[in-house]
Amino acid sequence: MDLTITLLLVITLFVVLGSGVWIGLSLAGVAWIGMELFTSRPVGDSMAVTIWGSASSWTLTALPLFIWMGEILFRTKLSEDMFKGLAPWLEKLPGRLLHTNIIGCTIFAAVSGSSAATCATIGKMTLPELKRRGYPDSIAIGTLAGAGTLGLLIPPSIIMIVYGVTANVSIAQLFIAGVFPGLLLASLFMAYTIVWSLLHPDQIPPADQNMTFLQKLDASRNLIPVISLITAVLGSIYTGLATATEAAGLGVVGAMVIAAIQGEMSWKNFRDSLLGATRLYCMIALILAGAAFLTLAMGYIGLPRHLAEWIGSLGLSPLALVMALMAFFIILGCFLDGISIIVLTMGILLPTIEKAGIDLIWFGIYVVLVVEMAQITPPVGFNLFVLQGMTKKEITWLAKHSMPMFFLMVGAVLLIYFFPGIITWLPQHMAG
């Protein structure tokens, strides 16, 4: 009976989504059908209370603020300045300026919170420059596709806020936990670039200028605004001076100050950034509201409990469970965006995860890492869409050249499983 109900609801959901109805409305509609058919609970008041509760969560306030901060910075010369500041230091490293993609994405991820924004902002700046200097498209675009996903993992991250709200865990702790895995992934991407460059030395153009140490230091002045903003936002969270929401407010003010100093804070840019953030947040909020109602409906029908019992009866080891969930999330990622995946599945999966004795902070970072993989898997790889719009390349070509990054992420998942301290060490010591 439970299997029949589950299949019926899943098929209904995919039919509704496939017909082009907005994700948030699809989730709420399927929840309504499930509660109406399979429970005796009055649907109307449950829906009203749940949607109001999810939309008025104070924790969620950080989300539109971080999105707005990213939108303001998207319209400044920040990314251009990062390239100028980083390029001189990379001339001696195998792969040279290819690393600007990865380091640029790592730095911008710490002020953006969005994978697509990180990919688009850094790509707009580095790809034309790398092409002009003769770097091959395949490795330049491949590394950008992978490094762009760091926007999800390196705090402040929009998707971590969504997970924190749905799983009811500390967002500040999640942010702290994401630092080392983010740096680990960036290091893996850079190591791959170094190895690729050593194997294909003929494809890397020669260094175009030899700067003295003092000239390099002078060029590094361009990095001061972005480093200051990262220090202010993340420093206020890590030292306990501010909650994630207060730090987001600080980030918006800091972004406005940087934009004003650079002469980019025009009325048009202010309005466009505010409207862009509002549009994106309204979409996310609608998905969250629909998902909260679907989670409630599933709870009344009893599906999460039955699923948890079924998975428990399989007798999977924690590693087998983690690998099975990775395959499950990657398949979902072929059809849904990251936020939808998290809000759709967490209500059902969390009882199973807790029963298996897996730490929820660790699981949050693991989920973000796996959802990152979905950003570069066709047909709905959001980063691939962004890159396709920028480069006019075929989605299959983009997927092929970002494949090595995908396998590096699988390696990162195995590393965090066998060495969980990569995630848990920093939150434990910060808390202590």
- For residue 99, the enclosing domain spans 57-265+302-431
Cis peptide before 379 (omega within 30 of 0): yes
Q: Is 65 exposed, middle or buried, given 0-12, 13-18 or 19+ CB atoms closer than 10 A?
A: buried
Within 13 Å of residue 361, how many CA atoms lie on the same side as its CB? 20
| Residue 42 Cα to chain centre, angstroms | 37
Q: How many domains does the chain have?
A: 1
pLDDT tens across 366-403, in order?
A: 999 998 888 787 666 777 777 887 788 887 888 888 89
Contact predicate 72/273, CB 8 Å: yes
| Domain membership flag for residue 3 | no
| Domain membership flag for residue 45 | no
| Domain membership flag for residue 199 | yes
Long-range CB pairs of 268-272 (<8 Å, 24+ gap) are 269/72, 269/75, 270/72, 272/71, 272/75
Position 253 scores a pLDDT of 93
> Degrees (nearest 5) of the Cα angle 67, 325, 349?
75
Profile the chain (432 residues) by mean pLDDT over runs of 10 residues. Answer: 71 77 82 83 84 76 82 78 79 82 84 75 78 85 88 84 88 90 93 91 74 79 84 83 85 90 88 88 80 79 70 79 87 73 80 84 93 76 76 84 91 93 86 52
| Domain membership flag for residue 294 | no
Which distant-in-sequence residues (6+ apart) come within 8 Å of 255 by Cβ? 68, 69, 72, 73, 76, 111, 229
| Domain membership flag for residue 355 | yes
Q: Which two tokens stand for residue 351?
A: 């009882």
Which distant-in-sequence residues (6+ apart) come within 8 Å of 358 by Cβ? 318, 321, 322
Map residue 156 onto helix, strand or coil.
Answer: coil
- Other Cβ atoms less than 10 A from the Cβ of 138: the count is 17
Position 335 scores a pLDDT of 65
Position 431 scores a pLDDT of 55
For 51-184, where are the E strands, in sequence order?
none
| Domain membership flag for residue 33 | no
pLDDT tens across 212-234, in order?
A: 778 778 888 888 888 888 888 88
| Domain membership flag for residue 195 | yes
d(CA 191, CA 391) in angstroms, rounded, equals 25
| Domain membership flag for residue 278 | no
- Other Cβ atoms less than 10 A from the Cβ of 96: the count is 21
Position 3 scores a pLDDT of 66
Which distant-in-sequence residues (6+ apart) come within 8 Å of 284 by Cβ? 63, 158, 162, 339
pLDDT tens across 12-69, in order?
A: 877 877 777 777 788 888 888 888 888 778 888 888 888 888 777 776 787 788 888 8
- Other Cβ atoms less than 10 A from the Cβ of 275: the count is 11
Give the N- to C-terminal CA distance of the chain in Å, as an integer.
48
> What rounded mean pLDDT belongs to the chain?
82
